[in-house]
Amino acid sequence: MKSICLLVWFVGLSVSNPPEAAIPYFSNVRDLHIAQPDRQNYFIVDEELWNHSRPDLGDLRLYEGQSPVQYLLSEQRAGISSEEVEAKSLNLGSVAGHTEFDLNAEKLASYDRIRLRLDADAKDFVATASVAGTNALGEKSSTALTPSTLYDFTSEQLGSNFILKLPPSSFRYLHVKLSPGILPRQVKGAAISNLREQQASWTRVGSCAAPQQEQRRTQIVCDVPAKVPVDRIAFKVAPGQVNFRRTVRIQNAQGTEESSGEISRVRINRAGTVVNTEELAIRATGRSNQITISVDNGDNPPLAFLEVQPLSVERRIYFDPQGKTSLAVYYGDEKLAGPVYDYARFFHLENSPAEAQLGAGAHNSQYTGRPDDRPWSDRHMGVLWAAMILAVMALAILALRGLRSEAGN
């Protein structure tokens, strides 16, 4: 029984608490210079911090002397929020060869988009959509809104667009007039929405070699810092190349495909209506010291790339300096998890926060490294095994004594 209790005690010693932050446990440090200490500040995570921190940046800590300073880590990704509701279609018909109809927009107080639902046979067209707003159905006095171009290039495999973009509006009724190309029977409905967009901020990462042609593909090899995440690949294509759509695939250094997408540029004039649109960036994922970008040209001539650039979403550290003009940023503790701060929970982005400047990265002169915080059982395996062997021997001796006692009787 005593041996069993001893083993339970050993197991209890093996349970360890989560690591705590302390300045001697960080391998690296940087000065943080604050120009405007009376307002919210931020600094941008750079390659130095990525290379010497945990992959999730959870071991970054700000200190004022020996006192920690709370912060929020924020990714500057594009943000889109949209409230979309169905708009009842009224008076759908044809007037002098034009499809016209009214939309009841009263379900949404403010809107800036109309998304048409068209029949599947509405293909290979370019049409102009003009919109006028009124507050009463059939009102003669109306306000003309920004016209939009609708198109479908199924035959050319260049995509489609059925969305009308408007200035922020609040009219109760909208009158939509389409140029020839879309029949009344092809209009199946419409929805209005209020789209709010926040543009992403990007940081350039690594560099790419000149494109190489391999049969039907263009191959581009890029060297990137292994610990910096690549979130996007941006392409610059010669302005003279238009009306293309290409599939792009990205492989890591091991040859595994990590992401794919399409780039395109459309400039088409149909009966005086011009369509001009392009998408020259794709989403990327993963981390690797080298990536290979493959552009599938099919039977088309290769694209003339002026530049191919990997990008990383900008990460910002927001904090309140509370009058301090300098702080220290410590990092480089693999065992430290991300902090849990009230500042982050109740964070409010102030207007025009100031950008603080990071000094050069340096080794932390106070660095000692963490003490051996492995469970007691891991650090004293010999003692544990000796105790187990002694316990087994003790049980064996007791068993032998019991057998002898029974034999003597």
pLDDT tens-digit readout, 278-310: 999 999 988 889 999 999 999 999 999 999 999
Instruction: Give the pLDDT of residue 14.
Output: 45
Q: Are residues 100 and 31 in the same domain?
A: no
pLDDT tier, 84 (very low <50, low <70, confident <90, very high otherwise): confident
Instruction: Give the pLDDT of residue 373.
Output: 65
Assess whether pLDDT exceeds 50 at residue 12: no
Q: Are residues 380 and 358 in the same domain?
A: no
From the CB of residue 214, how many other CB atoms can be counted at a distance below 10 Å? 8
Q: Are residues 84 and 194 in the same domain?
A: yes
Instruction: Give the pLDDT of residue 200.
Output: 87
From 313, 335, 350, give the residue that closes a domain: 313
Instruction: Give the pLDDT of residue 43.
Output: 97
Number of domains in the chain: 4
Q: Are residues 142 and 207 in the same domain?
A: no
CA distance 179 to 150: 10
- The token pair at 257 is 């495909």
From 313, 330, 345, give the residue that closes a domain: 313
Average pLDDT over residues 26-41: 96
pLDDT one-digit tens code per residue, 343-359: 999 999 998 999 999 99
Nearest to 182 by CA among 125, 134, 135: 125
Q: Are residues 85 and 152 in the same domain?
A: yes
**Residue 32 CB contacts under 8 Å (≥ 6 apart), including other chains:** 43, 62, 326, 327, 328, 329, 356, 357, 358, 359
Can you tell me whether residue 315 is helix, strand or coil?
strand
Residue 370 lies in a domain: no
Sign of CA dihedral 160, 164, 168, 170: negative
pLDDT one-digit tens code per residue, 194-247: 877 678 899 999 999 999 999 899 999 999 998 999 999 999 999 999 999 999
From 181, 198, 215, give the residue that closes a domain: 198
**Residue 256 CB contacts under 8 Å (≥ 6 apart), including other chains:** none
Assess whether pLDDT exceeds 70 at residue 79: no
pLDDT tier, 10 (very low <50, low <70, confident <90, very high otherwise): very low
Contact by Cβ (8 Å): 323, 329: no
Residue 368 lies in a domain: no
pLDDT one-digit tens code per residue, 239-260: 999 999 999 999 999 999 999 9
Residue 369 lies in a domain: no
Domain extent at residue 340: 17-76+318-363
Instruction: Give the pLDDT of residue 329.
Output: 98
Instruction: Give the pLDDT of residue 62.
Output: 98
Instruction: Give the pLDDT of residue 42.
Output: 97
Instruction: Give the pLDDT of residue 159.
Output: 87
271: exposed, middle or buried (C-beta count within 10 Å: 0-12, 13-18, 19+)? Answer: exposed
pLDDT one-digit tens code per residue, 366-380: 999 888 666 656 665
Q: Are residues 207 and 305 in the same domain?
A: yes
Q: Are residues 137 and 42 in the same domain?
A: no
